[in-house]
Structures are given as structure tokens and as C-alpha cells.
Structure 1
């Protein structure tokens, strides 16, 4: 039996993947594409593993099919040409391993295949002891590749190195790989018999490396959304079952070749720097010594250069018996080129629907349908497919994470021939439009923090706005002009903004290059870029400071800077200032004040500091109206996240970039304005409609994050000073037995003990001792782990008692601050680079590595101070049982952090300690109090909670006046003497 297999895909539980990556949509698209065998992807993820058990039934040996009821529903949504086609699933997962070997950090991705769910369950059990497999469908493990292969073999599966040439994460990658596949897997290398070539290479490139002759070359899509299925695939001519597929890869018999991208379309085909706009062929890279001509840093070496580096054969060589391949361009991309709209546009999808209804699956159209038959329906598509089959394509190679572009027509050719409007001259026979797939819902996962109902970003036949709620849709679907979106906590702010941008680009024909999205942190910018990419859109996403860098790089000469000017970190700033004043104290004053003498010294060293990244671009634009016009022409559509946090310079910069009648979208919540100490001014948010007359205003009021109790309490607290007249916030979703409680403790130590005790109760016990002592008498609230808990406080000092109590209890925690263990080079090197023996504590390892006790003392003393204890006590506490796992950044741990640091985060269970007058609101002697902002700070902290919220105060001070505004809540406490033990804590739930 000859069939097409795509055995590297991802589920909706992987980062940056479509929420439509479920079995039902994957089956629908596999039939549409003409794919018989599909990997399940992500079987290590617990929720996805449960979905596989529920929705799949055994088929041929080692394979599965969709349940009959689900399968019938899918068939009803397909045209007759696509119905009842065989689709089978094989258990697959991609694993990322990051580890040290031979003095280098290795980052290698692997595909693991197993024959049954029992084997998968055992595999998952083993991996769960190594790392967190529940946070992402593609788990990241601190595990050697050789050891992962060993676990795979012991569970009865096989392993294929994934996208072997990718620079960053691959066995042969230029950044972190090996020079031979066998080197990676050491003594178990003979058990690897196939490798995945990846999107940026094809078999012809791999044939140049003789060490790869022993492996079957396979290709897969690595699909992050169902429509991407089959963009690359492997062809088999064998029985349809797991064992036959494995045997074909082991022996080559039955391995019939592959379907490939043109490798130039891959994201890492050639070398370059995406940020600098530099793309280089291997010879150009060699001539430049591997250095980017714009920024002076090493370029990302792509697949072509890496193949050239390892090749021991001339181009064009083909090993005896090597399976063949064919290069294809996905059908929607072909239609997109000739129509002139995006491949996900409604017009393109409709025309592809016509083609597959008439001729069958997309791969059949691309490979098998006679060209004259295609031309009879669509002349230009027929010509494009003919060129494709002959390999007559125009190639613009991808580089440094930027996809390449493959075209079937020369630039301007279609316009000269009459444009795409005459493309479909011959209408196909009339038929009913194929509806979108109607699929049974998968088992509901745990409540998501920001999740509008039934999202369906990539569903066939639906628009980008269809999965949004009415408020979100009103905001995201709004047209041009100024727009203010007031987004309450947990209302899907980022989702709304990214869908608006994607809607403008894909459905309103706004050029992507004219869009600019601005956030406040690099993390937020990365998240927004990932979400937009998952929606099929790439636009400029920047922080205010990275935007400033971009402007300065483009106009550096006007400031006397070179193109490769540096950005001074705080230590370098003081060093520069010291060079002109000679005194540390005076140097710090010069830096803090931004003194002219210090700034001149910076420029003399070709440096700017952090403040300059906004101040200098602002000065350039304010002095040059023509430059303002140029940037307004470049970025005609600007979106700003967290607008309530802008400061005066950022506000002025936006005013220059966006005219009063421009297309500026601002989103945020004035009741979450808490950064006045950083210079933020909520007044700029409140005057938006004055600055932009005629601006539309949309309110997002459906909270998908928090329980009804939490939402009600947060509204009661903010109501006396809300900056949103008529503030509304409506809870959506089932949060189970949620509660909000106020605890009165006798002391800070008693408060910390309450936190520890309650965490154990909510978890249902963290040790046998919790049951033996009677501290826990039930199984608690199900479905939570340590990382689901956060303890928040107004000032860092309040964390000391918490650290002591959590350390004594043995519960794992992390204190988020700017002075973490990971930031200490000496300790970080010891903890990260050297192997640990099971049960060995951090102190033991530091002492052994340092060689002398006094050296270990110096390394650990700052960490002891951070934890609020003396070194000897800290030393003893760690040595008695805190193993290295407690310090592993991949381990789940309770989070301790300030209220300010909690902004943007969320947790099922939140404690806010120190709710006392003088702490919350914080009162400084001799200074004016901003009680309203302090109230907003509590509002922010409360709305971090999804399910349970505990507010605590002690007898040391009067309780916070903000708590007086709370209505119904549960009172618990230990400040008063109890007549008898028990009862109070056990009744929490």
C-alpha cells in the first residue's frame, strides 16, 4: 500500500500552536491534504494524552483511528471527493533536550514514536521524574540525548533526530549540535536509523554528507496548525501499521521517498541576521568571516553553510539506492500568488475548496491531476502547477528564522498578463459550499487564564473574529482611526489585540509592514509575536526601548554614534561616570541625574544608556518634522499595550508617531496603573479622547481568569476610587469550589505558618506527615501543583518569615527578585555545570567544587542574606535536606514575589500577606500618600487569582482600610486563643 505520512505535528497544548490542533481538525485536514498517517504529537502532555485515550480507538497494529461518532461528523462536513478517506494516527512527541557535553551546551530536538498507550504512559512516567512535562506539549528536559534514546528503547519505541540541520536546536545544528549524528547518541548510536531533514534542507543536500548514508531521510511538516499538515511528508509503500513503518525506516524496503519544501523556503536555509536585514550565501559569509556587516556580531549560520561545512561530496551526488523526493509548494500558496491575496484569505480558501471538490485532496492536485484538466478549471493554476512539477520556480531563500518565498511567476508577470481577476475564467459546476467541520468537543482542560469562548483561529471556513466574545469582537473588528480599549483584568487583552492586528492584515488588506505593536517588556513582546505568528501574521513588535534602538540604528550618524554603538549596563554606566569624576558616590549621582558630563563621556565611548533609548529618538523626531512624516508613513497602524503605564517621554513619542486622526489603538486599564514610581502617569490614558478626538471606546468586561468570588471582591476593593466610571467585570467559566478568605494572624511567623498549612490543605497534603499530624484531613482542591501558588507582599521584607516557614516545611519555592541564585556567577557555574549525586545538597556541591570552606562561605553568604538568615543557619538548613532539585529552574515551585512584580502573572491560588495599615497602603514618614494607587495595587494583586484568594494581616498593626470594603468573605484566623484544637482549617473547603 502506498501512502503519505506526516509524523511530526503538534497539538493545541504546545506553545505558539493553534487551538484547533485537536484530533478532529487534524483528521479533517489530513483528508483535505491526502495524508493517510499522522503523528499524534505531544503524547507526553497529560491533557493531550487523556484526549488521545478518549478520542482514539485501536486500528491496525500500533496505529489508531478516530472514534466512529467523531469520524462520521467530520465526513459530513467534507465534499464527496474527500469523504471516507483513511486517516490513521501514530503516537509521537517532540522532546527538547538541553545539556552540557564536551564543554558545550547541546540543544537537540528528537521525535519519539511508541506503539501503544501503555508504553506512552510508562515513557511519560519516566520523563516526569526528570522535568516538567505538563507545561508544554514539547517538553524541555535537562537530559543527555543518549539517555533519552535509552529511555525510548526501554519503553519499546524508536527515536528520530528532528530537523537535524536547524542551527539552534538540532543534532547537526551549527550553534549547538555535533558533527555527526553518531556522536550525539554515543554507545547507542546504532539504534538510530532515520533522520528528519527539516524544512531548510532536502535529500539532495543531505546526500553530500556520506555519514548520513546509513539513515533513511524522512520529512514532516512540524505543523503548528492543521492547515500546515503535509507541507513536508514521507511516502511509504508498505503495510499500514506501526511495525511496517518502523521496519521500512530500519531497512529502507518500503521507504518510497519524501515530499519536500523547496529548501530555500525554510527559515534557516542561508545565513544572516534578521534584525539587520542581512541575508548571505555561504560564500559571502565566509568572505565576511561570519560577521554581520551591519551590527558586527556573528551571523546565524544556516543549513546551506552547515551542509557545506560537513559535506565530503560534490553537489549533485546521489548514493546508490537512495529514495527519491519531490519539491512542492502548498496549494493555498499557489492560489495566493495568482489571486494576489494572503494564503489564508477567504478568496484563496474558497478557490482551493473548488479545486479539491473537483479533483480530490491537495497533494493529488499538486502531483497527479493532469495539467490540462486543471487548466480547464483555472488556467493560471494549471500553468503554475506545470511550472512547479518542472521545478521552474523563483526562490528567495529564508534566513535566521525568516521564511523564504517561493514564487511560480516572475515579479510583474501576472500584472502584465491581465492580473489575477481573470484567473477563474471557467466556473466549476455548481455545488453546495463545504461547511466548516463540525466536531465533538474534546474533554475540557483545566480553566485557562485568558480564554474567550470556543476560539477557532484557524478553523476552515471561519474568520479570525469568530472565536471572540462580543466585546472582544467589537474591539478587534473595529476599522481605522483612533481606538481605546479598556480591558479589565482577565478579559483577554492580548488575545483581543493580536486578533485585531491579524484581522486588519488578513481580512482588511492592511499591509503587515505598516503595522507596529508596542509593549512594555521583552517578555510581552515575545509573547505577542508568538501569538501573531500562530495566527499567520508577522508584524513589527517592539518595546518602547527596542523601538528606540531601531530608530537610533537608522539615524546613528546624526548623534555622532557608529552603527554598532553599545548600550551601557548599570555597571558600565558607573564606570563611565567614574572616569570623569573619580569617585563612586559622585559617579552614581551623575548617572542618576543624567548629567551632561556623564552623557558626553558615554558618547565618547560610542555608548548610550537605557534612558537614552527613548530620550534620543524623541529628541530626533521633535527636531525634524520630515522624519516624523517618514515614520508616520512607515507605521500607519500602531497598537500600544498597557497604555496606562506610559510615561511622559513615551507619551510624547507616541504623539509624534500617531497623528490625532491616525490609526492608533491603545489598550489597557487605568485601574491597573501601579507604576508611578517609574514615571508612569495614568493621566495620559484618561485624556486619550482629548488627544484623539472622535476616538471610539470599547470595554472588555468578561473576566475568564478569576472565580466569581475573586471578581466580586476585587470590584468591591477598587470601587471607591475606580478610574473607570460604571466599572463592570463579569466572571465567566467554572472555577469549582472557589473562595475568598481573610485571615487574622497573631504574628508574621503565624501568618507564614498559615500560608504553609493552607497550601498543604489546598494541595490535599504534600507529605505523609500532613495526614499523620491531622493538619490535612481531605484530598483538597484537585488539579494543582506547587507552581499554581503565589504569595504576594507589598515590600520584600515581608518575605523573610515566609522563606523560613517554607524552608522548614520542605515545600519547594522560588523567591523572585533581582538577586537570584541564578544571577550569581560563582554559584551558578557550580550548580549548573557540574554533575550532582542524588541527594546532594547545594551547600555540599558548592563546598566540594570550591575546595575550601571559606570559599564556599563567600559564595553562599550573599544568598543567605537574601533569604533573611545568617550563614550558619542557612548552611545547616540547606545541608539537612534541600537538594539541588529545589534549585532547578525547571522544577515546579511556589512563587514568592512583590505585588508590583505580580503584574501580568496569574495563579489558581494567591495569598496576599501583610494587608495592614502602613504596609497596604504603604505609608512613608514625611511623604504624601497615594492611597488610590495603593488601592489599585491591591486590585492588581487580587485579580492575579483564578480560584482561591487569601488576604492576611497580623495583630502587629491595624488591618488595611481597604479590607473594610469587602463584602462577603470567609473569616479565618489564629490571633485569638482557641478553646480546642481543630475545626477551623479543616472547614476551609
Structure 2
């Protein structure tokens, strides 16, 4: 039989994968796509293996199917035309090996296939001795590729090198691989008979390399969510079983080709630097000698260049007997282009539902269904398929991790608004040869509390219902986004869709009210937040996004200074001095470290003059200099007010005095300034932030409208209620309201009292193990049941929050003992200080170390470390107590590999802006939270900010929140208002230890 196979997918236990990656969803999408054989993915993950064993039943030799009950349930959710198609599963897993061979570090990914569960179990047993299989569905092993192949063969399976051209993690990749498959697998290379070409190459590119002729070229989706299934796939003409597929790959008989991306759509097709917005074809890369013209660093060399480097044949060569292929664009992407909304939008998905119900599976629609049959359902889709099948597409190549874009219509060919609003309406009557019947109206799905309201269906009526960018917003968000002029204050509680509201408002202004994109300025506080905002606006208004200005305060300052550089004696390409360079310049003036620091802090004219002489500014200049220029020139103020007529500021509660003054100059009292934030999340007073500016917004802008976002989509009802109880005594939002909207069940807040700090850490480690599936959560004394391994949780879904970096020591020990992967993520404010930067250079660090860790390690004990930090504080020009406070927030020196799926250890300050399904807040004790200094009573405002810090920490939790404290101190007074909590039994340490005085180190 002829069938489609997709044998590289991931489960919900892999990092960055959808929680819908379960067998039911995969079966549903396989039938919808028209795929008969699917890899299981991730069979090395213990919980997923158990799920496979419990959920699948044997079918043909070496393949499995969903059990009858689940299979029937899947079919009930499919239209009759798609139900009942055979879907089989073959045991598969992707393994990452990172190891040294010779003088190079090798990073190679592999696909491993097994014929039965017993073979897979033996394979898992062998690999469990090498690495932690429970931390990620795609485990990372310190194992040579050749040795992985040997273990695979000994267990009865076979191995296929995965996405062989990917620059960073592939056998032939430009950054970490080999020049030939044989070089990688050494004496066992003859046992490799197929390779996966990956998304950024197609067979025609691989045919240029004669050394690959002996391998069958296969393609798979590498799907991280079920809708991505089949975006690439392999065709077979064999019996539907493991052994027939393997034989086809070994001999070529029955290997019928592949379905491919246009390779330009892959993330690494051409060369470039995404951060620098530099993209190059191979010839350009050669001309630039592989160096980025923006940052002067080596470019990421993509697949096209790498193929060119290894090719020994001309383009267009086809080996005799090579299987064919077809380039396709996924149907949701085509419909997205036609409809004008994202490929995952409800409108696109609704149209795909209708098309597949009427015409059959997606891949059949793309390849085989006559366009005449498609045309009555969507004339534009019929035209798109005609072009696609002729290969007439517009290709915008991907590079350096950025997916390319394939379009079938020329820019401007489709009226985006008209396509978005009325694509499937009946055309106005004309004298046609025959009129087409109007499509039946599709009823809107029943609303769910956490869901965005579904778009209204379009029916053939004289006055069709129009669709707006605001339709997907809740009433509060819509009220805010629909305010198109004048000052606006949006009080956005945690998890209420702050960024969504802000980006939809900007998109609404541009598309529905004709506001020129160039007149829109959006300001936030971190580059990460700015990038997220830019990505969302690109999806909402792709035709206008590039002309919007989205910046941090400091990147805005750079923009202004680039334009006004001549007014302050700077060249157009001025540099920004880092902390060490600043100190070096000041030292040249004074010769004394203390005086040099004073020059910098006081913005001494001699220091500033020396900076300018070197064509430099420092970090503080990026706000202060544009502020000074504007303050002294009313005409300049008018110029920028006219340029940026619509200004939006995110996290307004975090502005400091200089930023506030800059905004007041840019935005007139009656101007279009939108400020969004939450004063109850103001926690950065030590940075200079002043929540008072948020509180006086209505005074500064008397005509301002105020809108409150009160629907929390992040956290469970109990978490929301508990957070409100904690903040209520000192809330800065009169009538503070948060209404939980998320579907998180009846998750509650657990409170644990440990006998010591070490026992508290053990409690955290054991609870993570149980929730992730290491043991049943029924064992907890609270009686609260959390199912083991069935919630779609990975280690990255867990966060452990603490007030001081010192608290992480016990957690690191407990998690290491338990074998759980973790990473310490901390605030980086102190890295701006010259003395700390020097310490970072001079001390030896291991991944996750902080400055505090290393100073403590060098000192040998806390008291000596305390004394060592005194001169460091002096060198930094900081008050010692304040310096200690900042240090308690932590300084992470080296980050762990971001691909790792690990529990996050981070301070409460560093958790701001993040969210996790499961959150632990440890050290909820009087003296830690609120933090109290011996002999230095805290002010009322300091204590109130500590309460806000706990509020921020609690509202990071989506499903489950655990608060804990040790018996060494009284519990935090902030816990007193909590009403509906569950006490969880004490965790006992292995041995009792004497309590020691806490040090912020």
C-alpha cells in the first residue's frame, strides 16, 4: 500500500512542545492530515514510555495503534470523511549527543527506532546509566555518536541521523558536525542507510553530494505540536509495518519519495545574523569572508552554503533511481495568507475544518484534489493550489533560527482587510453563467472561561458582520484597546493580558483608524519584552510592523542620540562605554578609585568631556542626554511630539525619575499617552523606580481615562484568591479585583512547615519528583492529589523562588542529590558595577555560579566573605547595606544551555514577568520575607514593597503554588491573611543540623 509516514515528532514531555502532544491529539491530526504512520517520539522518557505501554496496542509487526476506547473517542471528534483511517505508531526518539572527539566539540542529533516495547525498555536501561532520561523527552547525553549507534544495534533497532544540515546540532552541520556521515559513525557507519534532510534542505540539494547517494533521503516534521504533523513527510509503497519500512530504507525498494517544505522556509536555509537583521546568500557570505558587517562576528552559516561547500556536482543533477519529492506549503499557512490572520487563529482553523470535512485530508487537498473541486469552497485557495503545484511561490528565506516565509500571492495582491473580514462571503450579484450557493453559516463554538471569544461566523446576508482586531479581547481589554485618543491609564493586574491588550490597541490604531505606523512609539523595560511585543505586532499587522518603533528606554535613547549626535559633539557611530571602560576613563582623570566613582555618579564635567573626546557615551547618558537636549529646546520637543503622536509605555510602575521626565517631554498633558502597569507589582525601588509616578498619572494627565484589566488568565482560582488576600492590607489599587478565568481545576495553595532550611529544600525536590511523575502525589499528607506524569509538565514548568541568593545553596544540594536538572536564574543588576565585573573576570566560575557563590567559596566561610565584600562595595561606590541588598537578589555569572529542560531557581525579583505552572516560594519567614536587617528597622514603604514582592511571586503560578518556611524563624506575617490553604506534612532531613545565622551571601 502507498502511505505517508512522519517518523520524527515529540511528545508533551519534550522541551518547548505543546501539552497537546499526546497520542490522542496526534492520532486526530494524523487522520486530518492523511498520515498513516507516525513516530511516537520520546520513548526514552519514563512517563511517556509508560503512557505508550498503557495506551498503545500491537497492530502489524513492529507498529502499534491507539487502544479501542481512545480511538473511538478520537473518531467522535472527526467528521465522517476523516474518521477510521488507519493510523499506526512506530517507536521513535530523538537523542542529542554532545561530546569531544579530537579537538572539536561535536553536537549531533539522531533518530532511533525500535521494533517493540521490550527492545525500547532495554535501550532505556542502557542509556539511563549515561544520562538523566527524565529531564527531557529528547535527552542530552555525553556520548559519542558511534557508541550510541552501537547501543542501538545491540538493542535491535536502527538509527537515522536527524536533520543532517542544521548548523548547530547535526552530523553535517556547519558548526558542529563532520564532512561525511562515515566520519561520524566510524567503524559502524555501514549500519546507517538513511538520513533525514531537515526543513532547510530538500532532496535536490542533497543530490549535489555524491557521497550521499548510498543513503535514502527521508523527511519528517520534527513536530513540537500536533498541528505541525506532516509539514514534511516520507512516502512509502510497502506493507504498513516496521520491518517493511526498514527494508525500504535499506534497499530503496518501496521508498516512494518525500513531501518537503520549500527549503527556503527552513530556519537555517541561508546565512546571517538574526540579532543584526543580516541575511546573506552564499556568494555574499564569501564576499564578506563569513563575517557579519554589523557586529563583526562570524555569521551563522546556513544549509545552502554548507551544501555548496561539500557539493561535487552542479545544481540540477539527479542520481539514477533517486526517489522524487514534492515541495508543499502547509494548508494552514496558505489559509493564513488568504484570511489575513495567523495560521493558528480560530478563523483559519475553522476554515480548515470545513475544507477537510468536505474534501478530505489536508495533504490530499494540497496534492491531489482537483482545483475545480476546491474552487466552490474558496476561489482564492483554488488559485493558490494552482500556483503551488506549479512551484510558483514567493520565497523569503529563513536564516539563523528564523523561519522563512513562503507566499503564493504577491504583496498587495490581496486586500488584507477585505480578505480578513469577508473572504468567504458570497460575491455581489453579477450576470454570471451560474451563481454559487452561499456557504452554510458555521455556529460559533461554546465559549470556555479561559478561551478568547470565537470570531463570529460570516454568513451570506445583505449586511455581513464585520470582524475587528478587537473581537478576540475580553470586555476590559477591548475597552482599553478601543480608546484611540487622549491619555489612558490601564491598571493591569497579573495575568490579565497586558501585552496582548497593548499590541492589539496599537494594531487597531494602525489598521482601523489610519494612524501612521511611524507615529506609534511603544516603550518597555527589557529587550526580551520589546522583542515579544515586536513579534506579536508582526503577527497582527505584518504590513505595518516594520514601521512601528518598539524600544526600551535605553534603546530609544540610542535612537535619539543617533539623530542628535552632532548637538553633543558625538559622531554618528558613537560607542557606549561598558562599566570597566567608564572606570578606566575616570581613573585617568583622578588616579583614585573612590574619586573616579564619584566623578561617574555626579556626572562630572571632566568625566563627560573625556567620554565625548573618545566619541563615547555611557549607559546613563542614553536617557539623561536626550532628556537634557529636549528640556533645553522647545522646538525639538515639538518635533518629537509631532513624530511620536501615539506613545505606549509598558510597566509604568517601574519608571524612574529620569524616564518619567523624558516621557513628560515627549507626551503633552492632553496627548495620546497610554501607560499600562500595576502599582501592586512595583518592586524595584532599589533600582530607583518610583511607583509614585504611576499613582499621580491622573494628576499629570487630568483628562486621562482609566481602565482596569481584572480577568486573570494565568492562575488557578485559589492562587488568585490567595494573592489578593496577601496584597489587600496595603494594596495601591483601590477596590483591587482579579477574577480567575483560566482552566486550572481546583488547584490550591499548599503550605509546608519544615524543621530546617535543608528539610525545606528536600520537600521542594520531593514534591517536584512527585508532580513530574517520579512518584504518586497521593503520598503527600495534605491529601491534595496531583496526578503523576499526566499533566504535560516538564522540569521547565517548575520554578523555585526565594528572597535572597543565599537560600539557593540548600536547594542546589537537594536537587543535585535527587538527580533533577536545574538552573539558577538571577538578577543581573550588579554586573553593571565595575568591581563586580572585575570579580567576574578574575574568579573561576562554573555554570549557574553567582558572584556571592564564588566569593563565599574563596573565603571559606560566611564571615570572611562578608569582610571581603566590604572593599568590593567601596570599589563599586555603593553604600554597603544597599550593596548587600542588591547582592541578595543575586548575580548569575554563567547561564546553562537554554535547550535544557530544567527546574528554575531564581529570586523573587528575577521572577517578575515570568510564569510557571508550578511555583514554590521558599523561606516565607519573618526576617526573610519581609527581609529585615538587624539593628536597622525597615520603613513602612520598605515593608509594603516586600509584601508586593510576595504578591508578584505568588502570581507567577498557573496551576499549583507551594509556600514553605522552616521552623528556624516565625512564619512571615504576610501569610496571616491567607484563608484557603492546605497544610502539607513536614519533610524531615536526613540529619538534624544546628541553625546558623543567615548571611545574604
For structure 1, which segment, 529-538 or 35-44, has the greater mean C-alpha deviation from structure 2 after superposition?
A: 529-538
2:882 matched to 1:868? no
Q: Is the 8 A contact 1:464 1:502 kept in 2?
A: no
RMSD: 5.5
1:371-770 equivalences under 5 Å are: 371-374=371-374, 380-411=380-411, 486-488=491-493, 491=495, 519-521=524-526, 543-546=552-555, 548=557, 566-616=575-625, 624-625=636-637, 628=640, 632=644, 638=648, 640=650, 642-652=651-661, 667-689=676-698, 693=703, 695-700=705-710, 702=712, 705=715, 708=718, 715-728=724-737, 733=744, 739-740=750-751, 751-752=756-757, 755=760
Determine the structure 2 residue equivalent to 1:877: none
Contact 1:221 1:229 (8 Å CA) reproduced? yes
**Cα distance in 1 between the residues matched to 2:756 and 2:300:** 52
Q: Which residue of 2 aligns with 1:325?
A: 325
1:935 is aligned to 2:953: no
SS class of match (1:208) = coil
Change (3 A) 1:738 1:149: farther
Whether the 8 Å contact between 1:464 and 1:499 is mirrored in structure 2 is: no
Instruction: Find the partner of 1:912 among 909, 913, 923.
Output: 923
Question: 2:74 and 2:784 mapped to 1: Cα distance?
Answer: 40
CA gap 1:469/1:248 in 2 versus in 1, 3 angstroms: same
Query: Match for residue 109 of structure 1?
Result: 109
Q: Aligned to 1:166, what secondary structure does the other structure show? A: coil
Q: How many residues align?
A: 899
User: How far did 1:240 drift?
Assistant: 0.9
Deviation at 1:674, TM superposition (A): 1.5
Show the counterpart of 1:849: none
- The Cα of 1:289 is off from its aligned counterpart by 1.7
Residues 240 and 505 of structure 1: CA distance in aligned 2, closer, same or farther (over 3 Å)? farther
Distance 2:854 2:471 in 1: 51
CA contact (8 A) 2:450 2:713 kept: no
Contact 1:265 1:403 in 2 (8 A): yes
**Aligned counterparts of 1:764 and 1:6: Cα–Cα separation in 2:** 32
Could you say if the C-alpha distance between residues 221 and 516 of structure 1 is closer, same or farther in structure 2, counting changes exceeding 3 Å?
A: farther
Please give the residue correspondences for 1:31-50 in structure 2 after superposition, counting only pairs within 5 Å.
31-46=31-46, 48-50=48-50
Cα separation, 1, equivalents of 2:971 and 2:73: 59
Residue 262 in structure 1 maps to residue 289 in structure 2: no
CA deviation profile, 1:348-400 (whole Å, cap 9, x unmatched): 55555554444322322332234455457655544443333232333332333
Kindly report which structure 2 residues correspond to 1:68-107, keeping only aligned pairs within 5 A, or say none.
68-107=68-107
Q: 1:97 to 1:466 in 2, by over 3 A?
A: farther
> Deviation of residue 723 (structure 1)?
0.9
Which of 962, 968, 989 matches 1:948? 962
- Residues 9, 223 of structure 1: 8 Å contact kept: yes
The answer to whether the 8 A contact 1:6-1:234 is kept is: yes
Does 236-245 or 406-415 show the bigger shift? 406-415
Query: 1:567·1:608 contact (CA, 8 Å) conserved in 2?
Result: yes
Could you tell me how far apart the structure 2 residues matched to 1:288 and 1:393 are? 29
Q: How far off is 1:205 after superposition? A: 1.0
- C-alpha distance in 2 between matches for 1:973 and 1:363: 54
Query: Which whole-Å CA distance do the structure 2 matches of 1:509 and 1:102 have between them?
Result: 62
> CA–CA distance in 2 between the matches of 1:48 and 1:460?
39
Structure 1's 123 and 433: CA in aligned 2 closer, same or farther, altered over 3 A?
farther
Alpha-carbon shift at residue 299 of structure 1 (Å): 2.6
Match in the other structure for 2:196: 196
Matches within 5 A, 1:187-266: 187-266=187-266
Under a length normalisation based on structure 2, what TM-score does the superposition of the two structures give? Answer: 0.74
Structure 1 residues 429 and 811: alpha-carbon distance in aligned structure 2, compared to 1, 3 A threshold: closer
SS of equivalent to 1:912: coil
Contact 1:9 1:222 in 2 (8 A): yes
**TM-fit CA distance, 1:600:** 3.8
Gap change, CA 1:613 and 1:299, over 3 Å in 2:
farther
Report deviation, 1:687.
3.8
Query: Is the CA contact (8 Å cut-off) linking 1:471 and 1:698 kept in structure 2?
Result: no
Q: CA deviation at 1:215?
A: 1.9
- Tell which deviates more after alignment, 175-184 or 298-307: 175-184
Match of 1:881 in 2: none
Counterpart-to-counterpart distance in 2, 1:918 and 1:377? 62
- 1:582: Cα distance to partner? 2.9
Please say if residues 475 and 485 of structure 1, whose CA atoms lie closer than 8 Å, have aligned partners that are also in contact. no
Distance in 1 of aligned mates of 2:919 and 2:860: 27
Cα deviation, residue 301, structure 1: 1.9
Q: What is the distance in 2 between the residues matched to 1:428 and 1:83? A: 29
Rate the CA distance shift 1:529–1:585 in 2: closer, same or farther, 3 A: same
Alpha-carbon contact 2:751-2:981 (below 8 Å) kept: yes
Partner of 1:30: 30
Shift of 1:716: 4.5
CA contact (8 A) 1:465 1:476 kept: no
Seen in structure 2, the aligned counterparts of structure 1 residues 186 and 963 have a Cα distance that, compared at 3 Å, is: same
Change (3 A) 1:479 1:54: farther
Q: Which runs of 5+ in 2 are unaligned?
A: 428-433, 459-466, 771-779, 866-894, 987-991, 993-1001
For the 8 Å contact 1:152–1:159, the answer to whether it is kept is yes
1:78 CA displacement: 3.9
The normalised TM-score by structure 1 is 0.75
1:557 to 1:382, Cα distance in 2 relative to 1, 3 A: farther
Residues 195/127 of structure 1: CA separation in 2 closer, same or farther (3 Å cut): same
- Measure how far apart 1:239 and its partner are: 1.1
1:754-777 Cα deviation digits (max 9, x unpaired): 546756886899xxxxxxxxxx99
Deviations 1:328-362 (A, max 9, x none): 22334445545666555666555555544443223
CA–CA separation in structure 1 for the residues paired with 2:929 and 2:223: 54
Q: SS of 1:248's equivalent?
A: helix
Task: Please tell me whether the aligned partners of residues 166 and 173 of structure 1 are also in contact (alpha carbons under 8 angstroms).
Answer: yes
